[in-house]
Structure 1
Amino acid sequence: MAHFSYVGSGPYCYSNSFAMMFGADAPSTAVIEVATGSPFGVQLVGGHLPFFDPHGWVPETGFDTALTALGWTSTQKRGENADEALALMRESLVDGPVWVGPVEMGHLRHQPEMTGAIGADHYVVVLSVDDERVLMHDPQGFPYTSLPLNDFVEAWRIEKIEYGTPFTMRTGFTKVVEVSEVDAITASVPNAVHWLSQGDNGAAVEALAALVEAGQHPREHLVHFAVRVGVRRLADAATCLARIGFTEASEIAGEQARVLGSTQHPLVVGDHKRAADALRALAPTYDKLLSALRDRLRC
């Protein structure tokens, strides 16, 4: 089956937030995501929590690499405490919107059913702030939403997020060199090879398959986030690799997307064996993708 590109909603918070900050010169979110390296691996954190991104990778790991590949720079700022962070934000907002994150999604109470920290990271673009409320574009599907200042500060503390530093923001987004999407994708391939070489992706997927088959997997995390974002990342990788003529690698990434995507319904309805079988079919594809990318780089 030939790969067919996806366009639609999904948990692409930092890529969407970057695209907003880039404005009219923004590349596609597919290119932004691939430039971060996120599609190229799997990790099973603590032996039980799956993420379809590389071993040792967290979003912040890929940001500066992606910005460089895309021809942009930005300035990262951090407050030592809430008051300092808000002062920095107000100062930065004079020059335009501010990219903020990670924040704790559970404290973003404009999102239905969010009532407190759940350990879920998120990124938003802040448009203005006063003494009572923060106005933002939340790429989860909430443009021009506002939040009480106290709730936003609690989200920004990221007390249950396992990476990142509280009160972090980026400002001063500047395009320093014109880079085409094709050139940005090409420049990102060595980074993809690097990330695919980290850890044992196949073993991580096999271990996840065993958890799923035994009914010991984190179902809510998988069906609401991990599979959705993982499939989209792989689909975008397939699209981007095809654009630069990496045909074999694109076909493998497309296969990965289809196989991982086939787990969504079984995981939702509790067909553990079907989901586990699909994951076992996915496991060897990461080494295949790594080999295909290495072979093309040697050409």
Structure 2
Amino acid sequence: MLPYIGSGAYCYANSSAMLLETIGEKVSPAVLEVLSGVGIGATWHEEQKVIYFGQVIPDRGVSHALELLGFRWTERSGDAESEPPLEELRRDLEHGPVLLGPLDMGYLTYNPNAAYLGGADHFVLAYEMDEQTIYLHDPAGFPFVSLPLAQFVLAWKAEKIFDRLFSYHYWTAPKRVGSPSEEEQAAKALRLFQGIYQESASAKPNPSVLYGKEAILRVVKRIEEEGGLSPAEIGHLSYFAFQLGARRAIDFAVFFSKHAPELAVIKEKQAKQFGRCHTLIVEKNEQELANAMCVLADIEEEFRQVVCAK
């Protein structure tokens, strides 16, 4: 197995690692990513014509990871229709950094690509705030940046993020209350993953949302029967989804290599298939991409069956 070390869209995992670092806890973003459960399964949203290779959104996933690692924390959120809780945030920042998200990337104007990123969710670490400005570490390559509060509030409201659970959401003040072993972490992660799959399996049938193998095959149908993928779909898959899927899968493989080697084998195979899909979509070879995604769908189903049988 060849682990991957490099850049990638691990914003909430990297921000979580930075938050834990502030209390002297060193946890790999790769482990946080796995324990979040965000990369388990796949979800197709019919109205938006978009697939995510996961079934849990980071709004929940960060909390899953912190819990499985043995931490307690403070978590706050608000209503999009209410006033942003800036004073509450200010008070919490006086005691330590906070992990903010989801934020709408379209309002993060220190990012030169912000104008093209509206509606995309993001997670950052805030470490200071004054009367006009908030100061951030953004794991997308922007340490020690600042944002006017008026702009920040628009991002923090997250109104354009279609699958958000919360507005004005953040985590702070983590504290270790347990020290689970690697074996215990793996066992708890498996129970989490089983729950994720069971939740989607028991959901009321809804043609506007598909899960797992069916979600992936819906993209194949778009290619083979509906005239091909739209520019937006191509952009999402080629700039984000496939490369993120590959990195997540190899991190899962490394995590499970000791305590669930049969899952590690499947995840390594999945990582390579994600990489093949990425290569094909950049080459604009949609027919071969459709074939490769059929294989990807079978791998996802194989992983689901093995996890649920444990």
Q: Compute the TM-score of the two structures, normalised by the length of structure 1.
A: 0.91
Residue identity matched to 2:297: A
Query: Is 1:78 paired with 2:77?
Result: yes
- Structure 2 gap segments, 5+ residues each: 202-210
Q: Please state whether the residue corresponding to 2:240 is helix, strand or coil.
A: helix
Quote the offset at 1:201 in angstroms: 1.4
CA gap of 1:144–1:186, structure 2 versus 1, over 3 A, is same
**Stretches of structure 1 lacking an aligned partner (at least 5 in a row):** none
Contact 1:75 1:170 in 2 (8 A): yes
Q: Which of 200, 205, 208 in structure 1 is aligned with 2:216?
A: 205
Tell me which amino acid in the other structure corresponds to 2:59: E
Give the number of equivalent residue pairs.
291
Tell which deviates more after alignment, 176-185 or 248-257: 176-185
**What RMSD, in angstroms, separates the aligned Cα atoms of the two structures?**
1.9
- Residue 85 of structure 1 aligns with an amino acid whose one-letter code is P
Decide which moves more: 63-72 or 114-123.
114-123
The aligned residue for residue 195 of structure 1 is 196
The structure-2 alpha-carbon separation of the partners of 1:78 and 1:292, relative to structure 1 and needing over 3 Å to count, comes to: closer
In 2, distance between residues paired with 1:235 and 1:178? 25
Question: CA contact under 8 A between 1:36 and 1:63: conserved in structure 2?
Answer: yes
Instruction: Work out whether residues 227 and 264 of structure 1, in 8 Å CA contact, stay in contact via their aligned partners in 2.
Output: yes
Partner of 1:215: 228
Distance 2:128 2:173 in 1: 16
Residue 17 of structure 1, aligned match among 15, 31, 55: 15
Are 2:307 and 1:293 equivalent residues in the alignment? yes
Q: Could you tell me how far 1:116 is from its partner in structure 2?
A: 7.0
Using the TM superposition, give the Cα deviation of residue 167 of structure 1 relative to its aligned residue in structure 2, in angstroms: 1.1
Are residue 60 (structure 1) and residue 73 (structure 2) matched? no
> 2 CA distance for matches of 1:88 and 1:5?
41
Residue of structure 2 in register with 1:273 after alignment: 287
**Stretches of 4+ moved more than 6 A in 1?**
none
CA distance in 1 between counterparts of 2:249 and 2:216 reads: 15
1:64-108 alpha-carbon deviations (Å, 9 max, x no partner): 322211101111123457865210111011111111111101111
The alignment's TM-score, normalised by the length of structure 2, stands at: 0.88
Aligned counterparts, 1:39-118, within 5 A:
39-46=39-46, 48-54=49-55, 57-79=56-78, 84-115=84-115, 118=118
User: 1:37, 1:62 within 8 Å by CA — same for their partners in 2?
Assistant: yes
1:41 partner SS: coil
Query: Percent identity among equivalent residues?
Result: 30
Matches of residues 246-261 of structure 1 in structure 2 within 5 Å?
Answer: 246-261=260-275
Q: Which residues of 2 match residues 162-177 of structure 1 at below 5 A?
A: 162=162, 163-177=164-178
Give, in whole Å, the separation in 1 of the partners of 2:15 and 2:274. 25
SS at match of 2:38: coil
SS of the counterpart of 1:123?
strand
User: Residues 218-265 of structure 1, C-alpha deviation per residue, up to 9 Å, x if partnerless?
Assistant: 111111111122221111111111132x12211111111110111112
Contact 1:101 1:168 in 2 (8 A): yes
Q: What are the superposed Cα offsets for residues 15-40 of structure 1, whole Å, 9 maximum, x if unpaired? A: 11111111131321121111111222
Conserved in 1, the CA contact under 8 Å of 2:84 and 2:153? no
Please tell me whether the aligned partners of residues 79 and 88 of structure 1 are also in contact (alpha carbons under 8 angstroms): no
